[in-house]
């Protein structure tokens, strides 16, 4: 059995949300993905709004959690992220354990295939899920504040529809 390392930066930061897909997913440590930014670049019917992606950005870094899964767990994550339908794809990237540039780790990172050119607002529930995961993982306070301001939530018009 081969151990596979996966980097969670969005809803996978939340342990309960991760375990609903892979019951034996194992959190290992936090890590930093350099030169990227979290953005909602895809709309999801399941989440009823924008969903997280990482996009290249020279002036930003993404903090997240590294998990260990087995091959069956990776297949479950692929199914959750819609890899077979080309919704997300899995990329091997280098992250740095605890943000230490002397501790590189190769991980699998899910990224959106067909990215919107403009950010797609997410729901309060989805944003709170990501923020709760970031807080539970004790990601840096400055990073959590950045997430809080960057993850735009859609507002509802007087009829209750997203605008």
Instruction: Flag whether 160 is in a domain.
Output: no
Q: 10-30: per-residue pLDDT in tens?
A: 999 999 999 999 999 999 999
Instruction: Flag whether 125 is in a domain.
Output: yes
Predicted pLDDT at 160: 46
Predicted pLDDT at 130: 96
According to DSSP H, which parts of the chain are helical? 15-19, 71-80, 124-136, 141-150
Predicted pLDDT at 150: 87
Q: 39-71: per-residue pLDDT in tens?
A: 999 999 989 899 999 999 999 999 999 999 999
Instruction: Flag whether 115 is in a domain.
Output: yes
How many CA atoms, within 13 angstroms, populate the side-chain half-sphere of residue 55?
16
**Is residue 155 very low, low, confident or very high in pLDDT (cuts 50, 70, 90)?**
low
Pull the structure tokens for residue 47: 């989440």
Instruction: Flag whether 161 is in a domain.
Output: no
Q: Given a cut of 50, is residue 134 above it in pLDDT?
A: yes
pLDDT, mean of residues 122-127: 93
Query: Residue 36's domain spans which residues?
Result: 4-150
Instruction: Flag whether 89 is in a domain.
Output: yes
Q: How far is CA 158 from CA 50, 122, 153, 154, 163, in A?
A: 21, 18, 16, 13, 10
Predicted pLDDT at 104: 98
Please state, in angstroms and rounded to a whole number, the distance separating the CA atoms of residues 90 and 64. 16
Instruction: Flag whether 162 is in a domain.
Output: no
Instruction: Flag whether 156 is in a domain.
Output: no
């Amino acid at each position: 059995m081969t151990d596979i390392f996966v980097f969670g930066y969005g809803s996978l930061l939340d342990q309960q949300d991760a375990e609903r897909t892979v019951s034996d997913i194992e959190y290992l440590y936090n890590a930093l993905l350099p030169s990227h930014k979290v953005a909602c670049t895809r709309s999801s019917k399941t989440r009823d709004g924008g969903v997280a992606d990482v996009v290249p950005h020279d002036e930003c870094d993404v903090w997240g959690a590294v998990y260990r899964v087995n091959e069956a767990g990776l297949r479950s994550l692929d199914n959750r992220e819609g890899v077979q339908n080309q919704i997300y794809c899995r990329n091997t990237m280098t992250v740095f354990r605890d943000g230490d540039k002397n501790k590189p780790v190769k991980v699998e990172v899910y990224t959106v295939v067909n990215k919107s050119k403009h950010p797609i607002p997410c729901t309060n529930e989805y944003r709170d899920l990501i923020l709760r995961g970031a807080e539970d993982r004790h990601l840096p306070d400055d990073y959590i504040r950045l997430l809080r301001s960057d993850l735009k939530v859609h507002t509802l018009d007087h009829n209750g529809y997203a605008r």
